A and B are shown apart, each in its own frame.
Chain A
Amino acid sequence: MRTPIAYFLLLSAILFALGSASVLMRRNALRIFMGVELQLNSVNLTLVAFSRMHLELDGQILAFFSMVVAAAEVVVGLAIIVAVFRRTGTTDVDRADVLRG
């Protein structure tokens, strides 16, 4: 018996909500980053679930792409965070607001 799709989607929604909450409420850049990863992986979960539901591989392939891009994004994002930390001595994103209008 196959697990109904709704369970996967529900888990994915919960993960995405947790990730979003982390992004919106945390001020530490690293924690925000973790929230972003959580969001990405919740979406990956959705892709894989639908892929299995349709018995096609497109979704799983897209999930791999997503992981690769996420890995690259982590590299760039961490580099930015390190650079900001070196310059300002903090990873508090609310204090990195030099681009305000």
Chain B
Amino acid sequence: MIDLIGLAIAIPLAAAAVNMLVGARLGRFAGWLATGAMAVSFAIALGALLDLLSLPAADRAQVVTVAEWIRAGAATVTLDLRVDPLSITMAMVVTGVGSLIHLYAIGYMEHDPMPGRFFGYMNLFCAFMLALVLANDFLLLYLGWEGVGLCSYLLIGFWSERPEAARAAKKAFITTRVGDVMLLLGLFVIWIHFGSFDFDTVLGGEGSLPEIATGTATAISLLMLGGAVGKSAQLPLHVWLPDAMAGPTPVSALIHAATMVTAGVYLVVRTHVLFEISDVALTVVAVIGLAGALYAGFASLGQYDMKRALAYSTMSQLGFMFLAAGLGFNAVAISLLVAHAFYKALLFLTSGNVMHGLHDEIDVRRLGGLVRDMPWTAALFAAGALALSGLPPFSGYFTKDAILELASHDGEVWAYVLGSLGALVSAWYIARLFFTAFIGDQRYEGRAHEASTLMRAPLVVLAIGALFAGMWLAFTPEGRLATFLEPVVGTVAEGHAGPSTQVLVAISVVLTLLGIAIAWRLYRPAAAERWVSFPEREPGLAGALGHAFYIDDLYAWIVGTVGLGGAAALEWFDRTVVDGAVNGVGRLAVRASGLAPIWQSGKVRRYALSFLAGGVALLVFAAVRV
């Protein structure tokens, strides 16, 4: 099946073409076509995974050449796909979670007039995402990278008749573009230094390090980190992610939680060799991740829009992944990525159920008590929340807390302390969402209708994954996924600094329970009046949290006021000085030419007089000469 891995990309691509060309005539069938394509793609990826597992660990990096792609002079680029533990893990997440979300979307989008366009874009996204993770060189990776950015733009703005969706789509595209340009510059440096985009050449195969100076490695790493930060919505390019929730909820779940935003983490882990040569870059990754995890955690506490709160939660979890990668715990970073894909997709889709059942109502101040009308949705959300909060034995514990545990054992005290604070806030914000939306008094009008069976079925699968995938894959450093990934991402020598593992587990559980307790204290049904009126009582704090510490507003001010002011000044200069000079020359020529026709009076007698005067002048001249 490894040789057929190209089909895993080609089939969703073909389905996307069919859906985009004739999707309007397919009606409900469009969704089934797209879901079927994803299921086939998943089966191929699963087959490749099983084939890979049957090989000895040393041979688990297979390159499949699909075609010769570009021939320019002596340089040829072949279209190579790489099947190794890291890429196949990512492909499994994309196709597995992707299939479930496609299935859910059939129900979610059933009243939409243009399912063909929607599912076409979704399939196209999956094809690009698979190209990104299965690429064997930076060129194909970059193609996928830009492709998923395009699909993200198209899908955020899917309801283009809504101005906020169109605005959010543009914002996402332009903000990530800042990072994409940095990634492109990084690729240029790679080409200059290595003369190749091939992973084996650039990253050094078989345990050999690439020959590269520390400074160059730092430059490449930081430029690629710029791209990763843009795509993964980390500080300081995170502002697009909360707004991206204007898209349909399956899009938020697939692109802005489970897959595309993790591309940055994948890139950092894939190129970890370069990051490790440059110690500086690695530290920057850890600092950005930790800062993002804390920042987004607190920002999530101030959101009343459920999807925005989940978006900040995604950013916070991605921050933990960057922290892990920055500390060198690549296997755990990918483990968290996998677990996060399950529980965050689940959380987003349950919030989609709420929107679907309540005519797009998503503000927790106007929800409450949903557990009575939507018991399934409430239970599924609770499962996702438990997985995220990090209580053992669920997924979050085996991944997020594994990072903190490793950090402590490595003697990274600051990362452990601040990361634990982030974990506490994670438990706090997710419990807050559950308490405010699903229990207590009903604050909405009418009745919410529970999601259909078609929409519940994929959620149940996701919930099982969210709760137990962590345990099943034993996401500990010595666990199965980590061992599987080790040939690609490197091994971590476990340290023995700080308290023992048992103490750390106890601390982690206590902190998580403390977070949930804080949330209960603040948002329990009896205190509903207090938290609903919180913005009126504490406008300063609520404003800072709700606006995510005004970073977005700062950017808006910089672009809107300073940028537009500068543009206006330049426009004035252009119109007055540059255009003035050009128009002045033209006007001068017109004036000067206006003097010429004085002679062309059209009066015959004047011509005759000139004629005579000329003759007389000639005669006088001749006489004087003689």
Contact = CB atoms under 8 A, between A and B. Distances in A.
Interface of A: 20, 23-25, 27, 32, 93-94, 96-101
Contacts of B604: 32, 93-94, 96
A99 B605 contact: no
Contacts of B601: 97, 100-101
A4 B550 CA distance: 114
Contacts of A20: 612
Interface in B571-620: 596-605, 608-609, 612
A94 B605 contact: yes
Contacts of A97: 601-603
B602 A27 contact: no
12 contacts: A23-B608, A25-B605, A27-B605, A94-B603, A96-B604, A100-B597, A100-B600, A100-B601, A100-B603, A101-B598, A101-B600, A101-B602
A101 B608 contact: no
A94 B601 CA distance: 10
A24 to B, nearest CB: 6
A98 B602 contact: yes
A77 to B, nearest CB: 12
A16 B598 CA distance: 29
Given A100-B597, A101-B596, A101-B597, A24 B605 contact: yes
Nearest to A29: B604
A24 B603 contact: no
Interface of B: 596-605, 608-609, 612
A94 to B, nearest CB: 6
A93 B605 contact: yes
B342 to A, nearest CB: 86
A90 to B, nearest CB: 13
Nearest to A35: B608
A93 B596 contact: no
Given A100-B597, A101-B596, A101-B597, A24 B612 contact: yes
A81 to B, nearest CB: 11
A100 B602 contact: yes
Contacts of B596: 101
Contacts of A93: 603-605
A32 B602 CA distance: 16
B484 to A, nearest CB: 91
Contacts of B603: 93-94, 97, 100
B590 to A, nearest CB: 14
Nearest to B604: A93
Given A93-B604, A97-B601, A100-B602, 20 more contacts: A20-B612, A24-B605, A24-B608, A24-B609, A24-B612, A25-B605, A32-B604, A93-B603, A94-B603, A94-B604, A94-B605, A96-B604, A97-B602, A97-B603, A98-B602, A100-B597, A100-B603, A101-B597, A101-B600, A101-B601
A99 B608 CA distance: 15
Contacts of B597: 100-101
Nearest to A97: B602
Nearest to A20: B612
Contacts of A101: 596-602
Give the one of A27, A98, A99 with max B CB within 10 A: A99
B528 to A, nearest CB: 89
A97 B603 CA distance: 6
B381 to A, nearest CB: 87
Contacts of B612: 20, 24
A98 B599 CA distance: 14
Nearest to B615: A20
B513 to A, nearest CB: 98
